[in-house]
Structure 1
Amino acid sequence: MKLSIDDFCIRCQLCETLYPDLFRLDVENDVIMTKVADVPENLMDDAKNAIKDCAVTAIRFTK
């Protein structure tokens, strides 16, 4: 599974703060990026929590 961040992300950086193994802020382009192409099994719970914790529900799983 992959994580996708929709364009309506407000870049509050909550996901990056709570789940630094999955997300990072690209300062140059002012966007939140995923750090992994495919979510490894050991980070799957963090990915699910990030989806729930997103302030604007901009994070989702994609195939």
Structure 2
Amino acid sequence: MKYKVDDSCVCCGACTAVCPTVFFMGDNGRVAAIADDVPEDVLEDAEDAMGGCPVGAIHTV
């Protein structure tokens, strides 16, 4: 499974705190997700990060 952060992201950093393996602050100051499939051992954390996004900017692809 892969994740995408859309343009509605407010860069609050909640997802990077919950799942830094998948979500990170990009060079442009925006939150991004790794391009690869999410490793099984952090999949639950990634789902928690998506569910905790205050603006619903994280989606699965």
What TM-score bracket applies, with the shorter chain setting the length?
0.7 to 0.9
Query: Comparing both structures, which one devotes a greater share of its residues to strand?
Result: 1
TM-score with structure 1 length normalisation? 0.85
Root-mean-square deviation (Å)? 1.2
TM-score with structure 2 length normalisation? 0.87
Large movers: runs of 4+ above 3 Å: none
Gaps of 5+ in 1: none
Structure 2: distance between partners of 1:38 and 1:12:
23
Gaps of 5+ in 2: none
Give % identity. Answer: 34
- Count the aligned residue pairs: 61
